[in-house]
Amino acid sequence: MNGTETESGAPKQQQTPRQAYRIIGKRPIRHDGYDKVTGRAQFGADVRPPETLYGAILRSPHAHARIIAIDTKAARALPGVKALVTARDLPRASGENPDLRHTRNNILAKAKVLYHGHALAAVAATSLHIAQEALTMIEVDYELLSPLLDVREFLKDDARQLGDDLRTDETSYNKQAATNITGHVQHKRGDPVQGFAEAAVIVEREFTTPNVHQGYLEPQSATAHYHPDGQLTIWCSNQSHFDVRSQVSEILQIPISDIRVVPMEIGGGFGGKYLVYLEPVAALLSKKSGCRPVKMIMSRADVFMGTGPAAGAYIRVKMGADARGLVTAAEAYLLYEAGAFPGSSVASGAGTLFAPYRIENLQIDGYGVLVNKPNTFDYRGSTAAIAVAAAEQVVDELSEKLQMDPLAFRALNGVKEGDCQPAGSAYPRIGYLETVEAARNHPHYTAPLEGPNRGRGVASAVFGSWDGGTSSAMARVNTDGTVDLAMGSIDLSGTRTSVAMQLAEALGIPVANVKPFVADTDSVDYTDGSYGSRTTVMTGWTAYELGRDLRNRLIQHAAKLWRVSSAEIAFADGYFSTGELRMTLKELAAHLEETGELVVSTATVSSKGLAPGSAVHIVDVEVDPETGKVDILRYTALQDVGKAIHPSYVEGQMQGAVAQGVGWALTEEYIYDDGGHLLNANFLDYRIPTCADLPMIETVILEVPNPAHPFGARGAGEIPILPPIAAIANAIYQAIGLRLGELPMSPRRVLDLLIEQDQEDDGYPESR
Amino acid sequence: MVYEMTVCSTVNGDQVELHCDARQSLLEVLRETLGLTGTKEGCNSGNCGACSVILDGVLVNACLVLAVEVEGRIVSTIEGIEQSQGLHPLQRAFLEHAALQCGFCTPGVIVAAKALLDHNPMPTEREVRYWLAGNLCRCTGYDKIVRAVLAAADLMDLSRAQVPMAAEWLPSQGRTDERDRN
Amino acid sequence: MQAFDYFPVYSVDEAITLLSQNAGQARVLAGGTDLLVQMRQGRHKVKAIVDIKRIPDVNVLDYDPAEGLRLGAAVPCIRVRNDPVVAAAYPGLIDAVSLIGGIQIQGRASVGGNLCNAAPSGDAICAAIALNATCVIAGPKGERTVSAATFCTAPGQTVLEHGEILVHIQFPPPKPNSGGRHLRFTPRKEMDIAVAGATAWIELNSDLEMINDARIALATVAPVPLLAKSTAASLIGRAPGEIAFAEAASLAQEESNPRDSMRGTAVQRQHLIGVLVKRALHEATCRAKGGQIGGI
């Protein structure tokens, strides 16, 4: 087994001369580390204001039903119950952001319940057990409706309309008629018909995938305290506390300035924690219970049923290549489940699946479709993983038909700077070809794979074309020479440190002398949530700006103190100096307090270009031909990250994403019965990989600098979840000659195919 | 209320007297009554290990123990792992190896790993992986966790042998192979 | 979960009295790893919990080469697993207790609890049946014994009557030239429920070339773990090896009557039971011959 590539191994492939950084690229221990390993870190559920009440939510046992009546009398009368709310208690909305109309109907169902687990009432009581007992006393009359569960069903003429008032703004659909299509995204260029006509080899495949869950270990929680003067404080673990503030403000009709959202430590999110589920309900319960704080924590079943899992989908991909192996045309048709309300991740899938390839003739159509399942939400890479899984399996099959090495095929067709992105614009400098080349030369790829029923697969991805959003931070030089760094970005994985490193590098002080913390919504300027691989890159950029600004200001202060010009001051190795004069930052800072001249800086950085990352993964599997079980024997992930600010954290992102990808590929799925009831809303039957299911995950960091970023960093957190599914599928094919076309590639599905193959006994199945 | 009881036990070395409802789990009482919130609730049904504690020397999920069951028993939580001279070697190894990301599963993993090393001071990589299978982690892919536990075992072995700690022992690379072959 | 009374009891008689007084509304608590989860799911209406863990008789773990193993009903799996003498004498039982949950679950869950929970997938039930264990039951009418093979009557149901508790499980002493092996199939390597499971126990003659006796138990292919009698009978008098084992595997498939569930299909289970029986027989033979095979 190979160890994780260390810092010294990474820069070999680097394209530009390496700058000598003092801090960037090192591996300091995280600032919040001590609290995290001793149990002192305070997560959302750990908040305990005095007089706290406990809230619980009643959820629909049906997938689709009209609510006729809700009788809450008995529940209200239970001793200890202090408040009970239903959708009737939500204020009538004004103005109306349509997305928030749906969010409001999601947090408390209004007229209909649209999925098994849809919230419809909430209770606050003096203990959680009383609150839960009260829920059992609420009586709801339902008129049952038949559920719509498969994305393809919407095509049927008699398909039931889920959202009575939903219209699709798209030319091919009647804008006046109700529809289950929530959106259509299309990318089109060249002439695909002509392109396919020119192809020597064409592969077309279809794929179906179930819902999966982000599977963060920490359930959603929210504690709200509505004060008699109208001020509202919310403590929660959310990827975007500014989004919580604006969503609660609109839903409850409370001015933003009256709401303070305090971000607690957050136990994972992966894209699933930036919509509100509990926060407005807890606030409403607090208001109705005489302004006592109300704490609500989801059970694991609530998390599976009531939050936003990643979409299930139906995907069809067709690609053609000429005899030399050049892609002549590609088509994709993607149906992503939106779930019970509009808003799907299909745009990300549509924009990503062909991203690594130069394709002149192309048509991609993606649709979001309503079904009676939870409102789906993003999952690491905005659920593009399933689209990439489809395309990268088709590429593998094309390579095979062309008798080309699959990485040689990618090297031949791969994108570089100036090539066209699927959405149309040109790629900036990216490192896809470098990553492919590194994979081809990697000892894992060149090592022989021996033994029966074993196979090696590869897959690749290019991801991240958005510009990164807005980040704010504030820094203050303390009298002891340390720097407080208040940031608006939620820290999911150690970003306090990777951001602080960028300030420390720019200012020229040790990273331990930066004291980073995540500030509440009253204390720092607007910052987009911690999603889209943006925090280390964008908030780190903000910190870089702060570091430069503080450095300039400190130099000016030193100049003033010594009565020389700023140009005559040097700051190096912890000393300000001019001529014979020397002074530490600490000494200067002490002077500043005496003179009342504090050094404080704020910065906001907006949308300057994250730049896409590139990834190639190599995996060896062994399939037990008698049981259908797939074991991961060896895994190597290679990735162009631009610049690894803190290499351990980059490796961690890669390794964690691979583990999630392995689960998505092999064991994870929402299992529904025909009535739309979710059967496996627990960590026993929703099988995320355990420690015993995985080998060490080798990582290779490549650094092709992002020209737009001060340190060259690219977004790194999402892309490593894109290749694993296809890499594993391609490896399974190499091992046993079968392609499943369906996720997860669970032992049952593999075994079914093996038995079928055994019965037919006619070798490998034909591809269409 | 008839369903309530008073329970006396030892938690992290302190004698505690708890008034609790029979329905309350040890997890709920640790967190809500004693304020020991380092023990986490991830699933409340024994499937994730975030609430791992050591009960009379045995690793258990606090969510599957009723608080009333711990009368006269000894409970150790993550808050009791730290030693008088500072962090436990496991805690140090987790920091040095960046073996945590969100940190939510971390207390449970460290408690479980401590129970492992108490019982098997020099585990192989395979033994670590099977022992920690009851502790789900969604962030790390377990790679750095396993390395940290193996490194902590090395550290503890070194300190037992009273050999001065060499810097190269800290980030353990390749040691896993060596030990697995034995 | 509704409110309930909690009774820690110190003797078998005390437990019987309380259970009799609360007939139908009291549950016995040992490790609680199934019971507490089921209560939170609202699957039982419970007014009283009788915690038997302080009763000495249910905590006995006593091995005697002549008498066999007396395994108290509440002894947690981890104690069984960590006892080197028991591990050497009953490796098939160790296979099963090592597969239950993860280490945390094994710290609480017991073989007795596994039997009383009577799940079709029960790993330890399967091992207890194949190892010919006997369940010793105490109740208002005195003590009685039933074989492990007949203890579970339906999913979640056992032969226990109102007021009765399982006190201990008696395993016969291991015979010379015998070996047991429990295997199961799960999608994950740990922390999972058997899609199918099988324990094989065989006894070879003194020159190790013929099967003298065999017992096979199957899990998750019937409402409760099943003693596969014709499978076992087919092996007696045969040479241990692929031919006999393949035949036994197909007989085991015939004796199985699995159903579809979320965790596996009938077809899959039928197939897997054949695979597991064959593999378990090979490995049980290896043990009978004094060989070592990997634990987990």
pLDDT digits (tens, 9 = 90+) for A288-332: 999 999 999 999 999 999 999 999 999 999 999 999 999 999 999
Contact C26, C72 (CB under 8 A): no
Q: Which token pair is C52? A: 């038997």
Structure-model confidence comparison of residues A5 and C144, the more confident one: C144
Q: Please state the rounded mean pLDDT for residues C62-90.
A: 97
Q: How many CB atoms lie within 10 A of CB B86?
A: 10
- Cβ contact (<8 Å) for A648 and B144? yes
Average pLDDT, chain B: 89
By the 10 Å C-beta count (0-12 exposed, 13-18 middle, 19+ buried), A441 is classed as exposed
A43 three-state secondary structure: strand
- Please judge whether A680 and C262 are an interchain contact, meaning their C-beta atoms are less than 8 angstroms apart: yes
Q: Tell me which chain B residues have a C-beta less than 8 angstroms from the C-beta of C189.
A: 130, 133
Interatomic CA distance for residues A55 and A42, integer angstroms:
20
Instruction: State the DSSP H helix or E strand holding residue B45, giving kind and residue range, or none if neither.
Output: none
- Contacting residues for A77 by C-beta, under 8 A, at least 6 apart: none
Is A405's Cβ below 8 Å from some Cβ in C?
no
For every residue of A95-147, DSSP letters joined together read S--HHHHHHHHHHS-SSEE-STT-EEEEEEESSHHHHHHHHHT-EEEEEE---
- Is C104 within 8 Å of B25 when comparing Cβ atoms? no
Query: Once rounded to an integer, what is the mean pLDDT over residues C99-120?
Result: 97
For an interface test with C, the pick among B6, B40, B58 (most C C-beta atoms closer than 10 Å) comes out as B58
Measured in whole angstroms, the distance separating CA C231 from the mean position of its chain's CA atoms is: 19
What mean pLDDT do residues A138-154 have? Answer: 92
Report the C-alpha gap between C133 and C48 in whole angstroms: 30
Closest-CA distance, B53 to chain C, in angstroms, reads 9
Q: Which two tokens stand for residue A645?
A: 């600010």
Q: What is the percent of chain A where pLDDT is above 90?
A: 86
Task: For A444, list phi and psi in degrees, rounded to 5.
Answer: -65, -45
> Does A8 have pLDDT greater than 50?
no
Chains that touch B (3 or more CB pairs under 8 A): A, C
Question: Tell me, what's the pLDDT at C49?
Answer: 96
∠ CA B79-B82-B86, nearest 5°, is 140
Convert the pLDDT of each residue in C114-148 to its tens digit: 999 999 999 999 999 999 999 999 999 999 999 99
Q: What percentage of residues in chain C have a pLDDT greater than 70?
A: 99
pLDDT tens-place string over residues C263-288: 999 999 999 999 999 999 999 999 99
Give chain C positions within 8 Å (CB) of A684: 191-193
For residues A539 and C204, give the distance between their C-alpha atoms in angstroms, rounded to a whole number: 71
Beta partners for residue C219, in sequence order: C197
- The full 3-state SS of C82-151, as one line of letters, equals HCHHHHHHCHHHHHHHHHCCCHHHHCCCEHHHHHHHCCCCCHHHHHHHHCCCEEEEEECCEEEEEEHHHH
* 3-class state of residue C293 by DSSP: coil
Helix-then-strand count for chain A, H and E: 19, 26
Which residue on chain C is closest to A630 by alpha carbon?
C187
Say whether C49 and B66 touch across the interface (CB within 8 A).
yes
A630 exposed, middle or buried (CB, 10 Å; 0-12, 13-18, 19+)? Answer: buried
| Contact between A39 and B77 using a beta-carbon 8 Å cutoff | yes
* pLDDT at C14 > cutoff 50: yes
Q: Which amino acid is at B152?
A: A
For residues C124 and A298, what is the distance between their CA atoms, to the nearest angstrom?
A: 33
Rounded to the nearest angstrom, the minimum Cα separation between B161 and chain A is: 26
CB atoms within 10 A of CB A688: 25
- B25 interaction partners in chain C (CB closer than 8 Å): 36
Whether B134 and C32 lie within 8 Å, measured CB to CB: no
Question: What is the rounded CA–CA span in Å between residue B26 and residue B7?
Answer: 11
Q: What number is the average pLDDT over the span A484-506?
A: 97
Closest partner residue to A690 (CB to CB) among C185, C190, C267 is C190
Q: Would you tell me which residues 262-281 of chain A have a C-beta closer than 8 angstroms to some C-beta of chain B?
A: 265-268, 270
pLDDT for A266 beyond 90: yes
Residue A172: is its pLDDT beyond 60?
Answer: no
Identify the closest residue of chain A to B136 by CA–CA distance.
A690
Mean pLDDT (chain A, rounded): 92
Could A685 and C263 be called an inter-chain contact, meaning their C-beta atoms sit closer than 8 Å? yes
Nearest by CB to C104, from B21, B23, B60: name it.
B60
Inspect the interface and report whether the beta carbons of C188 and A692 lie closer than 8 Å. Answer: yes
CB contact under 8 A, B71 and C3: no
Helices (H), A647-716: 647-666
Mean pLDDT value of segment A336-344? 92
pLDDT digits (tens, 9 = 90+) for A157-169: 666 677 666 655 5
Q: Do B58 and C76 touch (CB under 8 A)?
A: yes
Residue A146, pLDDT score = 92
Burial C70-97 (b: 16+ CB within 10 A, else e): bbbbbbbbbbbbebeebbebbbbbbbbb
| Residue A5: per-residue pLDDT | 38
* Residues C5/C46, Cβ–Cβ less than 8 Å: no
Q: Which of C273, C119, C132 is nearest to C201 (CA)?
A: C132
Identify the helix (H) or strand (E) that includes residue A585: helix A585-595
B7-22 residue pLDDT tens: 999 999 999 999 999 9
Q: Tell me the pairing of strands A313-321 and A119-125.
A: unpaired
SS3 A496: helix
- Can you say whether the dihedral through the CA atoms of A397, A398, A402, A407 is positive or negative? negative
- Asked whether the beta carbons of residue C32 and residue B2 sit closer than 8 angstroms, the reply is no
Q: Give pLDDT tens digits for B62-112.
A: 999 999 999 999 999 999 998 888 999 999 999 999 999 999 999 999 999
Which secondary structure element, helix H or strand E, spans residue A355, and what is its range? none
Among C3, C104, C296, beta carbon nearest to B59 = C104
How far is C181 from C200, CA to CA, in rounded Å?
5
pLDDT of residue C208: 96
Closest CB to C189 among A680, A690, A746: A690
pLDDT at A175: 54
Residue carrying structure tokens 């403590």? A235
Cβ atoms of A75 and A298 closer than 8 Å: no
In terms of Cβ atoms closer than 10 Å to its own Cβ (0-12, 13-18, 19+), residue A697 is buried
Structure tokens at B91: 């805690």
Question: A touches which chains (3+ CB pairs under 8 A)?
Answer: B, C
pLDDT band of residue B175 (cuts 50, 70, 90) is: very low
Average pLDDT (A39-53) is 97
Residues of C within 8 A of B6 (CB-CB) are none
Which residues does chain B have within 8 Å of residue C36's beta carbon, measured at their own beta carbons? Answer: 25, 63-64, 66
At A130 the pLDDT is: 95
B136 to chain C, minimum CA–CA distance in Å? Answer: 10
Report how far residue A244's alpha carbon sits from residue A253's, in angstroms, rounded to the nearest whole number. Answer: 13
Q: Is A685 on the interface with C (CB under 8 A)?
A: yes
Least Cα separation, residue A696 to chain B (angstroms): 5
The predicted model gives A372-398 an average pLDDT of 97
Choice among A172-186, A468-482, C19-33 with the minimum mean pLDDT: A172-186
For A692, the closest of C1, C3, C189 (CB atoms) is: C189
A93 pLDDT exceeds 80?
no
Chain A residue with CA closest to C190: the answer is A692
| pLDDT tens digit sequence for C150-199 | 999 999 999 999 999 999 999 999 999 999 999 999 999 999 999 999 99
**C102/B49 Cβ within 8 A:** yes
* H or E stretch covering A183: strand A181-189
Cβ B69–C53 below 8 Å, yes or no?
A: yes
User: What average pLDDT score do residues A760-768 get?
Assistant: 46
Whole-prediction pTM: 0.95
- Among chain A residues, the shortest Cα distance to C193 is held by A684
Determine the pLDDT at residue C180.
Answer: 97
Query: How many CA within 13 A on the CB side of residue C225?
Result: 35
- B141–A694: do the CB atoms touch at under 8 Å? yes
Q: Do A683 and B45 touch (CB under 8 A)?
A: yes
In this prediction, residue A19 carries a pLDDT of 63
* Chain C residues whose beta carbon lies within 8 Å of the beta carbon of residue B44: 40
In this complex, which of A1, A265, A692 lies closest to B103 when CB atoms are compared? A265
Q: Name which of A234-238, A247-251, A341-345, B57-61 the model is least confident about.
A: A341-345
Question: Angle, to 10 degrees, between the axis of helix C123-130 and the axis of helix C91-99?
Answer: 170
Query: What is the DSSP secondary structure assignment for residue A537, as one 8-state letter?
Result: I
